[in-house]
Amino acid sequence: MTRSPARRALLLAAGRGERLGDAAQGLPKCLLDVGGRSLLARHVALLEGAGVRHLAVAVGHRADAVEAALAALDTRLEVECVLNPRFERGSVVTLWEARPAFARGEDVLILDADVLYDARMLARL
């Protein structure tokens, strides 16, 4: 039996990116430029292309910058930001804070916002 693709996604974008040192310039990792576009813009475009309709973005460190970047994107996705005020405690805490965004009885793709991938990989998920 073939399942229909998930229409919801949760993007974990709350961390600091301290292991990147100066490369992150104090910004969340999802705002790093890769080939002229941020990782965040790439995620949004790929998820939209895969048929996702609703995107929850779990934010923490520099939530204002992530929210501003999302607002500047041209997308048909319904986007909501979920704040994790305790983002320093890791992604498990971020998942806990974001649980209302994905506890609606539908399949949800959960992705790390600092991962670069190809559309073919997303299609496999």
Reported as a single tens digit per residue, the pLDDT across 26-46 is 788 899 888 999 999 999 999
pLDDT tier at 23, thresholds 50, 70, 90:
low
Which residues are within 8 A (CB) of 5 and not within 5 positions of it... i.e. 6 or more apart? 50, 51, 52
Phi-psi region of 90 (alpha: psi -120 to 50; beta: other; left: phi over 0): left
pTM over 0.85: yes
Q: Please give the average per-residue pLDDT across 78-104, as a whole number.
A: 85
pLDDT given for residue 96 in this prediction: 85
3-state secondary structure of 114: coil
For 100-123, how does the pLDDT look when each residue is reduced to its tens digit (9 = 90+)?
877 777 788 899 998 898 888 888
pLDDT of 3 reads: 58
Residue type, 72: A
Give me the pLDDT at residue 105, please: 74
Does 1 have pLDDT greater than 70? Answer: no
